[in-house]
Amino acid sequence: MSYIIIVRNILWGVPFLFFILICGAYYTASLNFVQLKLRRSLNAIKTRNQKRGISLFQSVCLTLASTIGTGNIVGVATSITLGGVGALFWMALSAFFGMAIKYAEAVLAVKYRQKKDGRWIGGPFFYISIATKGKTIPSKIFAFAGIMSGIWGMGATIQAKSFAGAFENMIKGQNQLILPGNNRIGIVSLLLLGFICFLAAKILCGGVKRIGKVTSILMPMFAGAYILLTSAILIKNIEKMLYAISTIFDSALGFSALRGGIAGYTIMLAMQNGIARGVFSNEAGLGSSPMAMAAVDDINPNDAGFSNMLGPFLDTLCICMLTGMCIVITGAYKNGVDGIELTALAFETGLELPYGIGNIIVCLCLALFSFTSIIGWSFYGETCTHYLFGEKAIKAYRRLYIIAALLSPLLTTEFVWPMADIFNAFMAIPNIFALMLLRKEVISEKISI
């Protein structure tokens, strides 16, 4: 186990995180702060539904379904615990630069997509091959890592485990089943997990059209409800807003630590946790979301780029920041709790709810977001499978995907998360290098920005 964690820490160490940040900063400057042109993004997603594939709006909802999940609720709380409230500043900064990376990913994915078996497929595997002068090994590494991340990491296993874990926290006193490896799960949680796996299987069988339709209905509803809840907490505690913001900046830039002589260490801790959590949450640099953009029939690279930027904006700059601000403004982070308990405490304190109600609300939100992430990430794995093995292999992939979700309680959290990070790294590393090698291809599109 320790070797897996060591490999994970090396792959996602400070050098690579900074390289992602540098990539985002480069594209931000080269594309004249394209992130500030969100009006173009909103106009682009008004594209009507196509006869084949999915609409641009459905594509955006699909990418949001895959990103809005565990990281927005539990991940934000963990980053604050590990890196201090200053981690929120660096998380926001990485998301801002991440928007430029997302623009570049989608531009290249649509520009170099191909039509296979009657439908468009595209993603980093095609433009990585262009960047490496036709070498296919880096592209195949990316695609294989995408399949494994879908089955093992960001998709089936982690999200199903998070779903079951949410009900373990919400429904206390369940009769427990003892699983191999001394793992335990409540009978009710297991039944609910089986039910959502059945629902997911029915949705996946309908292909990209059904996935796009379901996520375009569920995501606005779930995300909208969460935004209203967190906004209510901030409005109720509005008099503390300036103090909360100053606390975040003070922690992020080390002003308090500077007086104590430990500024360098404090800033580095906040930066590492904030940037890492931002990348995990919005997947900027991972190369996943451009696969959804490339599935839209009638789309040009520019519209794909603008639409793809909405992911980090809504996922991290909106939902993650709202979660983080609730934790800071209520002072919940001072109570020595972590993870889902910290977010639940912020809800109870901020809305003055009876003890335990905040936990139910947060667990329910986590369960709903985990379900949509299971659906969303399945498409990325399918696309990578299609690239490597052809359309005939997709049915086998779907079966493996659902089986992995059902078997997720057998695996420990300490093992699943580091392995997911490793597969994500093997997606991100070739993708980021390809983005830098093809920077002139992306910048040439700014004529029409």
pLDDT digit string, tens, across residues 291-337: 999 988 888 899 899 999 998 999 989 999 999 999 999 999 988 88
Average pLDDT over the chain, rounded to an integer: 87
* pLDDT, mean of residues 187-211: 91
What is the pLDDT at residue 47? 56
What pLDDT band is residue 418 in, cutting at 50, 70 and 90?
confident
Helix (H, G, I), strand (E, B) or coil at 208: helix
The fold of 2-448 is Amino acid/polyamine transporter I (1.20.1740)
What is the pLDDT at residue 193? 94
What is the pLDDT at residue 358? 83
Helices (H) and strands (E) in the chain, counts: 24, 4
Q: What is the pTM of this model?
A: 0.91
Quick check: 265 pLDDT over 90? no
CA geometry: angle at 367 spanning 366 and 369, to 5°?
65
* DSSP one-letter string for 65-82: HHHSSHIIIIIHHHHHHH
DSSP state of 320: I
* pLDDT, mean of residues 141-163: 90
- Beta-bridge partner residues of 184: 178
What span, in angstroms and rounded, lies between the C-alpha atoms of 43 and 361? 34
Which stretch of 112-116, 167-171, 178-182, 422-426 has the lowest confidence by average pLDDT? 178-182
- Of the two residues 228 and 47, the one the predictor is more confident about is 228
User: pLDDT for 23-37, tens place per residue?
Assistant: 999 999 999 999 998
What is the pLDDT at residue 138? 95
* DSSP one-letter string for 380-403: HHHHHHHHHH-GGGHHHHHHHHHH
Burial class (CB in 10 A: 0-12, 13-18, 19+), 393: middle
- Of the two residues 380 and 208, the one the predictor is more confident about is 380
Quick check: 371 pLDDT over 50? yes
Quick check: 257 pLDDT over 90? no
Quick check: 266 pLDDT over 70? no
- Is residue 259 within 8 A of residue 75, CB to CB? The reply is no
What pLDDT band is residue 269 in, cutting at 50, 70 and 90?
low
**Percent of the chain with pLDDT strictly greater than 70:** 92
